[in-house]
Amino acid sequence: MDASAEKGSGEGSRSPVTPEIAAEAAVWIARLHGPDRSAEMEQECLAWQRRSDVHRLAFERCTDVWEAVPGVRLTDAFASASRAGADAGQKPSERDSPPRTSRRMWILAPTLTALLLGSGVYWHQMSGVASFGTQVGEQQQVVLADGTRMSLNTDTRVRVEMGSSQRTVELQSGEALFEVNKDSARPFVVRAAGREVVAMGTVFSVRMPGAGGAGASQESAVTLIEGRVAVRAPVSTTASVHGEAKPVLMEPGERMRWIPQELGASRPVQVKVDRPRLETLLAWRRNEVDFEDVTLMEATSEMNRYNRTPIFLVGDGSLGRLRISGLYRTGDSVGFAHAVAALHGLQLREQGGRLELSQPQ
């Protein structure tokens, strides 16, 4: 995938924010989250934002990074700055004076600026159409012009259209989590696997049938974390195509799955609703995969979604029916394969750019 596809197409993905203005915005964020915040400081910050649209945009983006990127903690930055001052031989009274506070803000600024300009959080600030995507093993967060956040999992492709009457995302492949900013005048619609998920202000995930080689899940699913969504057949088709008479309203914690049936079945797709453990389902956001008594076939297929070195089960179907539980890193196919081999007494070998698990000879 080329760089333009990875960072989004169209003018909306290009930032007019310069490193200098980004640094100033970072300092304002640090000051406003520090112990010396005051009404006067807030007014000064507002005046700084009013200098231009670029200043305002930089402040908004820096705020988004502060809230979105894991591990950014002001107390840690202050502690680090204080330790640096102590190492330089400063006295406690000097470190606690207002000038030193300002210096601590500037010490923190490069960290926030780097995150703002290169954190992997992308902004789609303009109306129109844009495309975003991740490669195998990658994740990306996109902040849309309306404030909605999209977290894209491995090997995911989306197409975004921010219209005047409707916000539309087409999930072309992969998996994404949507944190929708409410806009009563413009419904937020995600199209995936021949269905539409309609939300106003809510949090939900959508997953398409997976790749991952043989045994990969061919299910599509919608999981509601917060709020309410309606799942319906596309308005351009008849509901009878999917066997769904009317939109289905989901409740928080529910997952709706569409499971393909065998050829010749009376209904080609079976719809199931359950309540999975959300912590397990969203483990990918922590770069982890959480298995709870699943088959080895299911587990290897899931691990293969995140790795360019695939795992293959060699032999008859009995190997794939073995059960496995545990927490694994998404990019560690080798560690996963070694753990499985040790657990079930299997033979592991690397051959032809892939890992093979088999029964011992």
Average pLDDT, the chain: 77
- Tell me whether the CATH fold assigned to 127-279 matches the one assigned to 287-358: no
Is 127-279 in CATH node 3.40.190.80?
A: no
Confidence bin at 147 (pLDDT 50/70/90): confident
Lowest mean pLDDT among 77-81, 303-307, 341-345: 77-81
Please state the rounded mean pLDDT for residues 76-85. 38
Q: Any idea which residue has 């491995």 for tokens? A: 154
Say what the pLDDT of residue 28 is.
82
Average pLDDT of 309-330?
Answer: 92
Backbone angles phi, psi at 143, to 5 degrees: -105, 115
Q: What is the CATH number of domain 287-358?
A: 3.55.50.30
pLDDT tens per residue across span 247-258: 899 999 999 998
pLDDT tens digits, 32-44: 876 678 888 889 9
Contacts of 295 (CB under 8 A, 6+ apart): 320, 321, 322, 323, 324
The yes-or-no verdict on residue 72 having pLDDT over 60 is no
Average pLDDT over residues 292-317: 93
pLDDT at 263 over 70: no
Q: Which of 12-16, 53-57, 202-206, 228-232 comes out lowest in average pLDDT?
A: 12-16
Dihedral Cα 116, 188, 139, 210, nearest 10 deg: -170
| Residue labelled with tokens 């937020």 | 188
User: Measured between alpha carbons, how far is 151 from 282 in angstroms, rounded to an integer?
Assistant: 11
User: 184-217: per-residue pLDDT in tens?
Assistant: 889 999 999 889 999 978 999 999 986 555 455 6
Residue 105, SS3 per DSSP: helix
Strand partners, 354: 351
19 compared with 350, residue with greater pLDDT: 350
- What are the extents of the domains in the chain? 7-119, 127-279, 287-358
Q: Are 269 and 259 in contact (CB under 8 A)?
A: yes
332 confidence band (pLDDT: 50, 70, 90): very high
Model confidence at 224: pLDDT above 70: yes
Checking if the pLDDT of 86 tops 90, the result is: no
**pLDDT the model gives residue 164:** 87
